[in-house]
Amino acid sequence: MNAPLHIHRFSIEPVDSRRFAALCGQFDENLHLIEQRLGIEVRNRGNHFELIGEEAITRSAEAVLRQLYRETRDSKDLSPDTVHLFLQESGLESLSETLNQTGDNRPVILRTRRMTIQPRGPNQQSYVRSIQEHDINFGIGPAGTGKTYLAVACAVDALEREQISRILLVRPAVEAGEKLGFLPGDLAQKIDPYLRPLYDALYEMLGFEQVTKLIERQVIEVAPLAYMRGRTLNNSFIILDESQNTTLEQMKMFLTRIGFGSTAVITGDITQVDLPRGTKSGLGHVIQVLKDVPGIGFTHFLSKDVVRHPLVQRIVEAYDLFEQLQEAEREERKLEQRRQQQDSDEH
């Protein structure tokens, strides 16, 4: 039985026609997106809103609309992507805590040269706090959860606050279905395309020219994991991306490069390992080895934390479900084989 529909009315202040136009979007596309995602009806006249739907959802939608309206103070436009990010939080039980945190639990905000970044949802907030509080941090989970982007944002924020003197972006030279040998250039140039997500985040936060200058001055260094052997890194922020493609030896080697005044963030998705068959992932191994070591932070992201296109979350969940069903079928086959063996032994 469906819950009765509830009419929830409220007004948003201050009245600013430009900001309300940005909130609603072109042809009310932002309001239509909210209606579609939350299963409610949104009506408005100026700054007066009327939401029709289940009471709990309409109250959560009011919090989202008020937060989105606050976003319009510093932005001429409010893109559907931004609306989507806030709606990712609307289904969480802790929505009110996320939008109204105070005191020591207030939202973490990262500031870079070109933008201000606020992590979305409790898991992203916890991830950034962990990076700020621990020297070594692991961000583990599916694509689209923001683990690499936020690590870069933390690095840039620390650099601009002069808490560190350099940023190192590291990635294992393991191809995902492609062969590095066919790419032109030396090893650093061959691995460059695989580091593109890190470059893109830097360009967005600092600008192309500034990033280029910092790379020339070696304030920002991009390196394959193989280049890390024998180095000790002090006063640095080191990001190891795609760490599920490290071997056990490589992961240990990387973690023992950390020097004084440095922060390391290791990101990866243990469900997308591209190592040769039979090679154990250093990320899967290190989770077990270091899980109880004090001073090391672990953040595990789930499919509900995905902040890309809504279909990405559904795709991740579909793959997870498919793998669970396959695992269940394998276990069932094993049990059947054992029963057959027992029957054979008895006869």
Residues 120 and 172 in one domain: yes
Reported as a single tens digit per residue, the pLDDT across 16-31 is 999 999 999 888 888 8
Question: Beta-carbon neighbour count of residue 232 at 10 Å?
Answer: 11
Closest to 269 in 3D by CA, of 292, 241, 293: 241
Same domain? For 294 and 321 the reply is no
Radius of gyration of the chain (CA): 24
In this structure, the answer to whether residues 260 and 281 fall within a common structural domain is: yes
182 lies in the same domain as 245? yes
| CA–CA gap between residue 178 and residue 170 (Å, rounded) | 19
Final residue of a structural domain among 70, 98, 126: 98
Per the structure, the complete domain to which residue 30 belongs is given by 6-98
The helix (run of H) or strand (run of E) holding residue 174 is: none
Q: Tell me, what's the pLDDT at 178? A: 42
Q: Is residue 92 part of a domain?
A: yes
Q: What is the pLDDT along the chain (347 residues), one digit of tens a residue?
A: 445 678 999 999 999 999 999 999 888 888 887 887 777 889 999 899 999 888 878 888 888 899 889 888 877 678 877 787 777 655 533 333 333 343 345 567 888 878 888 887 788 888 999 998 888 999 998 878 889 899 999 999 989 888 888 999 888 865 544 444 444 555 555 556 667 778 888 998 999 999 999 999 999 988 788 777 777 788 899 999 989 999 999 999 999 888 878 899 999 998 888 888 888 999 999 999 998 888 899 999 887 777 666 666 677 678 878 888 888 888 888 888 888 888 777 76
Lookup: tokens for 301: 């992201």
Rounded to 5 degrees, what are φ and ψ at 73? -65, -35
Q: Are residues 129 and 214 in the same domain?
A: yes
Burial of 248 (0-12, 13-18, 19+ CB in 10 A): middle
Residue 209 lies in a domain: yes
- Report the C-alpha gap between 34 and 41 in whole angstroms: 9
The Cα diameter of the chain in Å comes to: 85
Enumerate residues 6+ apart whose C-beta is below 8 A from 311.
none
Report yes or no on 88 lying in a domain. yes
Residue-level length of the chain = 347
Q: Which of 98, 125, 151 is the last residue of a domain?
A: 98
pLDDT given for residue 240 in this prediction: 93
Do 281 and 201 share a domain, yes or no? yes
Residue 20 lies in a domain: yes
Based on the fold, state whether residues 24 and 163 are members of the same structural domain: no
What pLDDT is stored for residue 123 in this prediction?
86
Q: Domain holding 33: CATH number?
A: 3.30.1370.10
CA distances from 257 to 154, 163, 231, 234 (A): 20, 19, 6, 9
321 and 296 housed in the same domain: no
Q: State the Cα–Cα distance between residues 33 and 41, nearest whole angstrom.
A: 11
CATH number, domain with residue 283: 3.40.50.300
In a domain, 182, yes or no: yes
Task: Say yes or no: 332 and 270 in one domain.
Answer: no
pLDDT at 94: 36
User: Where does the chain have alpha helices with state H?
Assistant: 17-24, 29-38, 55-71, 80-90, 95-99, 121-133, 147-160, 187-191, 196-206, 208-216, 248-255, 282-290, 310-346
Q: What DSSP line would sit under 131-160, residue for residue?
A: HHH-SEEEEE--TTSSHHHHHHHHHHHHHH
263 plus 175 within the same structural domain: yes
CB–CB of 143/240 below 8 Å?
no
- Tell me what pLDDT residue 101 has: 41
Rounded CA-CA distance 208/188 in Å is 20
Q: Three-state DSSP class for 130? A: helix
What is the structure's pLDDT at 309? 60
Q: How many structural domains does the chain have?
A: 3
Domain endpoint, select from 98, 128, 149: 98
Do residues 18 and 79 both lie within one domain?
Answer: yes
pLDDT value, residue 1: 40
Closest alpha carbon to 90 in 136, 46, 56: 56
The verdict on 279 and 165 lying in the same domain is yes
> Is the residue at 1 inside a domain?
no
331 within some domain: yes
Looking at residue 88, what is its pLDDT?
A: 66
Strand partners, 6: 53
d(CA 342, CA 347): 9
Residue 94 lies inside a defined structural domain of this protein: yes
